[in-house]
Structure 1
Amino acid sequence: MAQVPQLPTEPLELLTNKGLIEPPYINKFWGPAIVGSLMFIGTCVSNWALRRPMLSGIQRHIVFTIAGGFFGKYVDDYRTDYLAERDAVLRDYIRLHCDDFPEIKRIKYAELFEPWYPIR
């Protein structure tokens, strides 16, 4: 049988990852691939607007696609750093004000559901 990971009961454990959740492998390349693709498409559209063949000036396509990939990687790294800093601030606040965050009580589904009576 599959083992279910134990859910955290303390508020501070909610913001920590103990290796239970790993992001998919594609997440590393998602941002750069999207921005690079948009830059490639943007270069094709600019060629179309100037009434040139879509793939003419292939060096522009290559340069803008690579630049878009680097920009996407930069934005992705900036977002990751921002979210890590935000989580660190939240963890510190919870650690300093532990009285405001009581322990989480585990509830079973049987306690949540009310009895069901069919209306006929």
Structure 2
Amino acid sequence: MSAVVDPLELLSQKGNRQPTFLGPIWNPLACGVAGVGAAIFINWGFRRPVFSGIQKHIAFGLIGLGAGYYFDQKRSEYLAKRDAVLRHYIELHPDDFPVKERKTYGQVLESWVPVR
């Protein structure tokens, strides 16, 4: 039941993995919460009530959402560019990446007998 693995196919194949609900909104949401937390920390540092100046909390939260979305887009661009460079390198140097057969753990690991 061993299949042949092509290195170029591994980089181009997306698979059947379904994105989670929080996947696309996790980074903006986390940065937005961090922005509100920064506003609370600033109020605490100046010895003011932590939720005073609610407009500051809203502004910091929106700035955090924008920054999280921006960083998420930059990360996606970086990963896409990296995959394209790797795919191109594999296309130019196919001798360095031979097609291999998949092995199971049973074929790779040695049998183990406990010594007591």
TM-score between both structures, scaled by the size of structure 1? 0.85
Matched, 1:113 2:112: no
CA gap 1:7/1:60 in 2 versus in 1, 3 angstroms: farther
What is the RMSD of the two structures over their aligned residues, measured on CA atoms? Answer: 1.9
Following superposition of structure 1 onto structure 2, how do residues 36-47 of structure 1 map, counting pairs within 5 Å? 36-47=32-43
Unpaired stretches in structure 1, ≥5 consecutive residues:
1-5
Following superposition of structure 1 onto structure 2, how do residues 52-91 of structure 1 map, counting pairs within 5 Å? 52-91=48-87
Tell me how far 1:49 sits from its aligned partner.
1.0
Following superposition of structure 1 onto structure 2, how do residues 93-112 of structure 1 map, counting pairs within 5 Å? 93-112=89-108
CA gap 1:118/1:29 in 2 versus in 1, 3 angstroms: closer
Tell me how far 1:7 sits from its aligned partner.
6.8
CA gap 1:52/1:8 in 2 versus in 1, 3 angstroms: farther
Aligned residues: 115
CA gap 1:36/1:8 in 2 versus in 1, 3 angstroms: farther
Unpaired stretches in structure 2, ≥5 consecutive residues:
none
Contact 1:8 1:14 in 2 (8 A): no
TM-score between both structures, scaled by the size of structure 2? 0.88
Structure 1 counterpart of 2:44: 48
1:95 partner SS: helix
Structure 2 counterpart of 1:3: none
> Identity percentage over the alignment?
44
Residue identity in the other structure for 1:30:
W
Tell me how far 1:119 sits from its aligned partner.
3.0
1:71 partner SS: helix
Greater RCO structure (CA 8 Å; 6+ sep): 2
